[in-house]
Structure formats: C-alpha cells, structure tokens
Amino acid sequence: MASVTDSMNNDDERDLRLKWSGRWTLAHRILTLNLITVLLVALSTLYLDVFRNHLSKERVRQTRIEASTTALAIEAAGPEDREAILARVSKSTGSRMRLFGPDGNLIADSWHLTGPTFELKNPDTQSWNKDVARALDRGFNFLVGAKQLDQYVEPPVDRLQSWPEAVRAKQTGKTATAVRNAPDLTPVISAAVPFSGKVLLNTDNDRTFTRTVRRQRALIAAAMAVLVAFSVFLSLFLARTIVRPLRRLAIAAHRVRLGRSREVNVPRLPSRSDEIGLLARAVSDMSQSLRHRIDNIEAFAADVTHELKNPLASLRSAVDGLDRVDDPELREKLRKVVRDDVARLDRLISDISEAARTDAELARARFERVDLGAVIEQLVHSWETRRETGDARLAFARPRKNTAAVMGKPDRLARAINAIIDNAVSFSPPGGLVEIAVARVGDEVRIRIDDEGPGVPQEAREAIFNRFHSVRPEGENFGRHSGLGLAIAQAIVNGHDGEIDVQDRDDAPSGARFTIRLPAADRE
C-alpha cells in the first residue's frame, strides 16, 4: 500500500498543466468537439449534394442540347438524310435517338441502324462492391432527402405516348427532359424536342455521371477518415484535460481518506482557470483544511489529557490523604484542595467542551447583522451587575447605532469579547481602568480593549492564544481560568474572517491593548 499513499511529485502535476487551452471551460471544449464533427459532416454532405445536383443539371443540359441540335439538323436536311444523321449522332454521343411522327408512331430509331450504344447493367451479375456502392447511394439520397426517381423501363410498344416527356414536349411545343434510374441506379437522361409536328427523343444511360459522383464521394470518405482521426485526437485531448486530472484528484482524495500519509500533495493546477482548475484548488484547500483540523484535534486531545491529569492527580492525592490524616486543620486544607480541584475540573470540562464545538458550530452557522456597540454595551452592563470586576472599572463609549455592524453570530462574538474583557480585568491592578472602544475604520470594524496591567511580553504575544496557556496574575482564585479563554476568542474571531492581536499601549506607561478586527457589514 506504500505506492497508494505516496504523494504525487511535481512532474505529475506538471503533466496536467495546459498551455493554449488553459482558459477554456469544459463546456467550451466539449461543445467545440461536437460542433467541429457535426459541422464537417454537414459541410461534406452539403458539398456532395450540391456537386451532384450541379453535375446532374449539366448532364441534362448537354442531353437537351444534343437533342435540339440533332432536331435542327434533321429539319434542315431532307427526309432521306435523317437516318444517317441519327446514326452519326448516336455513335458520337453514345445515346439513343428516336423520332416519332405526328401520329405518335416511331419513324426512326438509331439503334436499328447502329446497334445498342449503351447497355443497362443487371445488378445481379455485378460484384459485391457495386452493391456496396448502391447501398451508399441510397443512404446518401435518404440523408439529403433527394427526390426518388422513377425506374427506367423500356415500353413494350415504343410509341410517343409511352414517354411522358415526349408527350409534354408535343403538348407544350418546348423541350422536355426526364431523369430515371437504371436497374443499377445509374441515371438514364432523356430529352424530347418537338419540331415540324414530330418529336425527337434523345436517351442516354450516363454511367460517367455515377462514376464521377462516386469518385467524389470516395474523396469525401477519405476526408471523413481524416475527420475521424481528428475527432479521436480531440477525444484524447479531452481525456487528457478532463479525465486524467479527475483521476489524479480522485487518487489524492483516496489517499486523504486513508490517512496513511502525513502529507498528501493534491495538485492545485494554478495555470488552469476552468472547472477542473477550480475543483483542484478546492480539493487542495479542503485537504489542507482537513489536515490542519486533524492536527489541531490531535494536539487538543494531547493538551486535554495533560491538563486533566494534573487536577486529577491532585484530587486523588487529597482524597487519599483524608483517610490518613486526623488533624482537623490539615483535613480542612485537604478538603479545600478537593473543592479547588473539582472547581478546576468543572471549568476545564466546560471550556474544553466549548472549544471543541466552536469551529464546527461556526462552520454551520448562518451569520446575521450584528451591532457590536449594542453587544458590548450589554456585556459591560452584565459585568457591572455581577460585580465581578473587583476594584477594576470598565469604561465604554457607546458608538452610534449600527455604525459598528458586522455579519456574524451574536452569542459567539459576545463570548470572544467577554473573554478579552475577562483577561483585562484579571490583570488590572486595584482600581485599574479597562477601556473598551469600537469603531468602523474603512471596510473593517475594530474593537480595542485596553487595561492598565503589566502588559504582555513580546515573546509571549502569540503564545497567550494557545490552548491551556497557564500564565495567570498573582492572587487569582485557583481554578477560575482554564487557559482556554483567549484560544476560544481567537477561534471565534478567525471563524468570522477576522484577526486578533495584542500590543503594548502607546498612551499609558503600562498595559496591554487587545485589538479585534472584523469585516464590516454593508451599510444599511
């Protein structure tokens, strides 16, 4: 399992970085891939359809011109030359010329003179690749919605009435054309030209047209193969930019869950601004926060064990001594030790419970607008009512209503401020003054609590916020403080995105100044 818990090195994270596409969102990449594929298929299909239609119109026009030119030649020549003209044109163009008289009967047929100039292929006798080609033809026609052509069938009686285009030409006096499908799906193009009461019908099985279209389709198929390769490339690109980072994040999350490695390096992907980058940084921050919280819990558990052992050991010693001591004065001293240890344990348990739930409670809390002026005023009134200040005096200049408002939990903020006031009162000399001020400064609200005590040495200004810090003023009642008050205050302030620090007073010979900075709420 060692390989599972090993953290990823920098090469692994570097492999997940992006260059030119680093700022594309996942939606943009997926949409681009789909649009490119669909667009190229649509353009290829549209091009082939336009090409085929254009080629078909050109072949129909060519057949019509051949028929019109032959009709003019027959009309200019005498009756005795018309068969020669039909034969010559049929041989040169590979088409079949039929001449119908005014009564609709067949007057002349070039095939009677030259023999067949084209042959309609039977698809049953052709190879399998022709069947594939015809299947592709039908599929393409269905895809573009092409009009289905009639099947070309030689009429049993070859008369003008057997050919709709010839009937149309005779009725309108204009050239009429038609396109039909041979049995092998090659086009049969016909053009009927009326002249001098007669109708000339030119018919051609244009196999060149089919070969040209299929050749063009083969080129498009090759282009589609390139498109498929391009799509595979884009898919691999998406896999690299989406799947691989997600897999790495999942592995890192699994390592965090196992908890067998002290440090799990979750890739943060700072160069990526898409959803994967946001997820990577969120998971990394979450794992660091979780690791920090676990470390705090472990340290807290160790501190709790140590702090509980001292009063328990003292309590056990005092209880054991009560059974062996007969001196009433000494027994009273032992009873006082027992009472003090019980009081200390009670304070410890209460404060430990509060410290343990502070972070979790603030993480779930819904903040509300809090006027710190009103909160502090109530705290000062409570201190004076309980008369717990001894000889110390409290002074608070109440600011205007709602000028020192923050977003937070009123009871938790009151708990933090009360802990600082309690600390200031504890270290104040007899008759000392504890000054409390709160004001909005820019985008933050500052709470200042000054005392006239000995102050806090420079080297201890961070340590006093540690749990179970035991430096207390001389003469304080045993068990009154657990050493968790300032630690709880700092946790509450940090949970409100604020800061707390302590400095020496700059307006008095001695004393400490605690300053709490909290983000100010929007002005109403």
Q: Which segments of the chain belong to CATH 3.30.450.20?
A: 27-217
Query: Per-residue confidence of the chain (524 residues) as pLDDT tens digits?
Result: 333 334 344 444 454 455 545 455 656 666 676 777 777 777 777 777 788 888 888 999 999 999 999 999 988 887 888 889 999 999 998 999 999 999 999 999 999 889 998 888 888 888 888 888 778 777 777 776 778 888 888 898 899 999 999 999 999 999 999 999 888 888 999 999 999 889 999 999 988 888 888 888 788 778 778 877 877 787 777 777 777 777 878 888 777 777 655 566 777 777 777 777 788 888 888 877 777 777 777 776 766 676 667 678 777 777 777 777 777 888 788 788 778 778 777 766 776 666 666 666 666 678 889 999 889 888 888 887 765 556 788 888 888 887 888 998 888 888 888 888 888 888 888 888 889 999 988 889 999 999 888 888 888 778 777 766 665 555 445 445 556 778 888 888 888 889 999 888 887 778 889 999 999 888 76
CA distance 182 to 118: 12
Q: Is the dihedral of CA 488, 406, 449, 435 positive or negative?
A: negative
> What would the 3-class secondary structure string for 482-493 be?
CCCHHHHHHHHH
- Measuring CA to CA, which residue among 132, 104, 86, 278 is closest to residue 194? 104
Q: Which CATH superfamily is domain 366-524 in?
A: Histidine kinase-like ATPase, C-terminal domain (3.30.565.10)
- 416: part of which helix (H) or strand (E)? helix 410-427
500 Cβ contact list (under 8 Å, min separation 6): 416, 420, 465, 489, 490, 493, 494, 514, 515, 516, 517
If you ran DSSP here, which 8-state letter would residue 70 be given?
H
Instruction: Give the strand order in the sheet containing 198-205.
Output: 106-109, 96-100, 198-205, 187-195, 176-181
Supply 503's token pair: 């400095």
8 Å CB contact between 410 and 368: yes
- CATH architecture of the domain covering 27-217: 2-Layer Sandwich (3.30)
Please provide residue 181's backbone torsions phi and psi, each rounded to the nearest 5 degrees.
-100, 135
The whole-angstrom separation of Cα 331 and Cα 242 is 75
Is residue 346 within 8 Å of 478, Cβ to Cβ?
no
What residue ranges of the chain are covered by domains with CATH 3.30.565.10? 366-524
Output DSSP code: residue 520.
B
Residues 310, 482: Cα–Cα separation, whole Å? 12
- Strand ranges for 266-375 from DSSP E: 368-371
Please give the model's pTM, rounded to 2 decimal places: 0.47
| Residue for token pair 């709709």 | 164
**Cβ atoms within 10 Å of 206's Cβ, excluding its own:** 23
Token output for 323:
């059974």
Closest CA relative to residue 397, chosen from 369, 428, 434, 432: 434
